[in-house]
Amino acid sequence: MPSEERRERSLSDEVARSSSRRGFLERLGGAVIALAGAPAVTAALLPADAQAEAYTNFCGHTYTTGNCPAPTGLPRIDRNGYPLRASDGVPVDDLGRPVNSRDQPVDAQGNVLTDADGVPLAPAPRTKVCETAGHDYRVDLSLDGSWYRCCGGTVRRIRDCCGDTNVRINGDAALPGYCYPGRHVFCVTYFETSMPC
Amino acid sequence: MLSGALAAIALAALVAGVAGAWSPCGFSMVDTIGTALGDVRRSTMTLATVTFTVGALAGGAVTFGGLALVGSLLGGGAGGLRDAVAAALALAAAAADWRGLRIAPQIRRQVPERWRWIMPLPLACALYGVLLGLGFTTFVLSFAVWALAGMSFAAGSLAFGLIAGVAFGAGRALPVLWIAPRLRREDGQRALDRLALEPRMWLGLRRVDAIALSFCALLLGGAAATAAPAPALSHFGTDPSAAGKALVWERPTTGGWLARPSGTSRIPGRYPAIGGGRFAWIAADGAITVAARFPAPSPRVLPTPAGASVDGLAVSRYWLVVRDQGSHGVANLFAVSLADPKRRVYLQGAGLPGAIGRPSLSGSHVVWTYSDSLRSTLYEVNLATGARSILLQSVRNVLYSNPSLAGRRLLYERTDRCAQDVLLGSSAAAAHARVILTLPSIVTRDPGYQPGYVQNYNTASLCHSRRTGPGATTTLGPTALGATTAWVSESPPNAGATRILAVAI
């Protein structure tokens, strides 16, 4: 990352760090202005299009906190926090293998994978991405608050993986993000809703 | 790679490095550092000696370690061929060095002299050390250098490359360390003169190199022969089981096979197992068959579990362990005493097919894995006492599978989102096993960011051992553990084409 850009992002992080709830003032301001009946002013003063923001790593993720480690790369999760393959939303186990509803590894057609004897391959643990990140980094983590953004035609829920920590996965100071009061974002995940936008 | 071969490699590399002292750069280094060793600046010069040594070690590690790394990236699974190629290179270089042949190809380059004047001496010497340690940036003084490079690449083992590189770097530094500190004294000058005037010393060192390389070729050749699969194993196969010099395995379409030094023969059934002087297999009619020798004129037949089919066996002198699969998908693992077949020890049950792994038996100790979405566990039970222990367990990120037990030695596989590893250790300390074979994971991985967005801070999403995109096409499968060889099944996407790989240990 160029140093200027890095400085800018550090500054934005600093701003976010000094705020207890990111975007609260932004939304409050928007509401006040909108109530005043000045949509043109709203458009001029506030970010017009969420997609136009410079997201980090994946659509919808502002600021610079790193991804939670996920089995296939991008930290896409289901509504319960279990890992999904980002490209198509297929459930995967902790090894990144697509699995069926019984958590057995399956091929692209959904057939249970077998060994050379025809015996199904062993299932592997399938754990929640946020909690597992916490275990890996020795921090007690859970999914706290969220923010929603329009990404690729559907509403995406950005879910912060939070804990009582002042350090994030990047190794530097953690932001409040969407975490509950007093907690900070350790890493980020996202959930793809079914809502078109 | 055998430890003896590694020792021979280290010796060959060390001597090859020392032989480099007879190059223009070698002499220059001794002089550059040695002539400046005055009382006033002794500390600076001592520092220069140290930095030169560090540079030489680093340079050697980079060259030979790098070649080994590149070799490893070009694919694994051909351990026998790699060892054979490395042995051939060692032998060719040994012959050439023994005869003192003119070095070809030769690199007619020298380190930049100007560094000596424009940089602080310690820094210049560090860089000189790196260049000399790299090996191929200046004159090469023995065929061993070329051979070591080729062998590092062919071996594809980072440990091999680093050992060769560090030893070579140490060899390049040794003459400097030996002569430079006393160069301002008469004996030092005499030593340098002797070097310059005695090419026979250089030729003698090349002969030492030749001996070390020959020894190395001998060990590697032996390893290649050990690692080379038996002829029958060049065909597809899985479910290996080993005891002494005998190996049995399953060939998916034709059933069990047995390989011994006396030859290869077909076993009349499936899921063959061997251990404790016993053979076991599932006959064509589904009966569990046990024999003390093979061919077996009158094998012993044990009753098959009712309403279930057996798909895994392990046998020892006094015990047989059976994995079966019921018609309703319930799998069981139990042990049968061969002395008293009515005596059975229930080991594990599972409602999920595949959750119970293939068992392995050594004496009265049986090991197997049980895995579901909550945990993956490697168990051991002493059938004589009933004592049950958990050797390894993971509740996240890791799958344990395909253990093999031979005495207290334990072989098993460990798979995570990045890699598939085969590890060898002790059942008494299973977590401290060493990796003897590794493959990238088979899953498709994205880069951890979406194209079009700022990409950063996502290193935790990545695997350092593999690239993004499709993973390996080979899945590790059942294993067997012999005295000097580990046998590992490797399945391509078409599981019917599974092969058994021999890994020298």
* A87 occurs within a structural domain: no
Say which range, A136-140, B209-213, B269-273, has the weakest mean pLDDT.
B209-213
pLDDT at B272 over 90: yes
Same domain, B47 and B168: yes
> Which range marks the domain in which residue B262 is found?
231-504
Same domain, B491 and B453: yes
> Which range marks the domain in which residue A150 is found?
3-72+129-196
Q: Would you state the pLDDT for residue A5?
A: 37
Same domain, B169 and B112: yes
Report residue B153's pLDDT band, with 50, 70 and 90 as the boundaries.
confident
Chain B positions in Cβ-Cβ contact with residue A97 (cut-off 8 Å): 442-443
Same domain, B274 and B322: yes
Same domain, B185 and B287: no
pLDDT digits (tens, 9 = 90+) for B310-322: 999 999 999 999 9
pLDDT digits (tens, 9 = 90+) for B401-453: 999 999 999 999 999 999 999 999 999 999 999 999 999 999 999 988 888 88
Same domain, B87 and B221: yes
pLDDT digits (tens, 9 = 90+) for B42-86: 677 778 888 888 998 899 888 888 887 787 666 544 556 667 777
Q: Would you state the pLDDT for residue A101?
A: 94
User: From the CA atom positions of chain A, what is the Rg in Å?
Assistant: 19
- Enumerate residues 302 to 331 of chain B having a beta carbon within 8 A of any beta carbon in chain A: 311-312, 325
* A141 occurs within a structural domain: yes
Q: Would you state the pLDDT for residue B81?
A: 67
List of residues 6+ apart from B73 with CB closer than 8 A: none
| Residues B323-351, mean pLDDT to the nearest whole number | 92
* A20 occurs within a structural domain: yes
| CB contacts < 8 A (A, B) | 183
Report residue B228's pLDDT band, with 50, 70 and 90 as the boundaries.
very low
Percent residues over pLDDT 70 in chain B: 89
Tell me which of B189, B206, B225 is where a domain ends.
Answer: B225
* A77 occurs within a structural domain: no
Tell me which of B204, B225, B246 is where a domain ends.
Answer: B225
| Residues B300-304, mean pLDDT to the nearest whole number | 87
CA distance B472 to chain A (A): 12
pLDDT digits (tens, 9 = 90+) for A14-70: 444 444 444 443 444 444 444 444 444 444 444 444 444 578 899 999 888 999 999
Q: Would you state the pLDDT for residue B73?
A: 63
CATH of the domain at B274: 2.130.10.150
Token pair, residue B239, equals: 């479910």
List of residues 6+ apart from B137 with CB closer than 8 A: B107, B109, B111, B131
> Model's pTM, two decimal places?
0.64
Any idea what the Cα angle at residue A172 is, between residues A168 and A178, rounded to 5°?
40
Residue B394 has its nearest CB partner, among A55, A73, A125, at A125
What CA–CA distance (Å, rounded) separates B227 from B296?
29
Chain A interface disruption, residue of B417, B420, B466, most A CBs within 10 A: B417
* A49 occurs within a structural domain: yes
Same domain, B316 and B431: yes
Higher pLDDT: A126 or B294? It is A126
Q: Would you state the pLDDT for residue A75?
A: 96
Q: Would you state the pLDDT for residue A9?
A: 40
Q: Would you state the pLDDT for residue B461?
A: 77
Q: Would you state the pLDDT for residue A7?
A: 39
* ipTM of this complex prediction, to 2 decimal places: 0.74
Token pair, residue B480, equals: 């067997």
Chain B interface disruption, residue of A115, A169, A175, most B CBs within 10 A: A115
Residue B72 contacts A where some CB pair is shorter than 8 Å: no
Chain B positions in Cβ-Cβ contact with residue A87 (cut-off 8 Å): 444, 446
Tell me which of B180, B201, B225 is where a domain ends.
Answer: B225
What CA–CA distance (Å, rounded) separates B392 from B477?
18
| Residues B145-163, mean pLDDT to the nearest whole number | 79
Domain count, chain A: 1
Same domain, B413 and B373: yes
Residue B455 contacts A where some CB pair is shorter than 8 Å: yes
How high does pLDDT run on average in chain B? 84
Residue B460 has its nearest CB partner, among A58, A69, A135, at A69
Instruction: At B271, give phi and psi (nearest 5°).
Output: 50, 50
pLDDT at B400 over 60: yes
pLDDT digits (tens, 9 = 90+) for A120-161: 999 999 999 999 999 999 999 999 988 899 998 999 999 999
Angstrom CA distances, B175 to B14, B21, B27, B31, B183, stand at 11, 6, 9, 11, 11
> Residue type at A67?
N
Report residue B396's pLDDT band, with 50, 70 and 90 as the boundaries.
very high
Token pair, residue B303, equals: 């009753």
Same domain, B247 and B214: no
Residue B239 has its nearest CB partner, among A74, A117, A125, at A117
Higher pLDDT: B174 or B117? It is B174
Token pair, residue B61, equals: 């590690």
Domain count, chain B: 2
Of the candidates B195, B146, B395, B105, the residue with the CA atom closest to the CA atom of residue A135: B395
Same domain, B148 and B243: no
Q: Would you state the pLDDT for residue B431?
A: 92
Same domain, B136 and B282: no
Report residue B162's pLDDT band, with 50, 70 and 90 as the boundaries.
confident
* A105 occurs within a structural domain: no
Same domain, B397 and B281: yes
Say which range, A77-91, B211-225, B378-392, has the weakest mean pLDDT.
B211-225
CB–CB contact A104 B396 (8 Å): no
Higher pLDDT: A116 or B183? It is A116
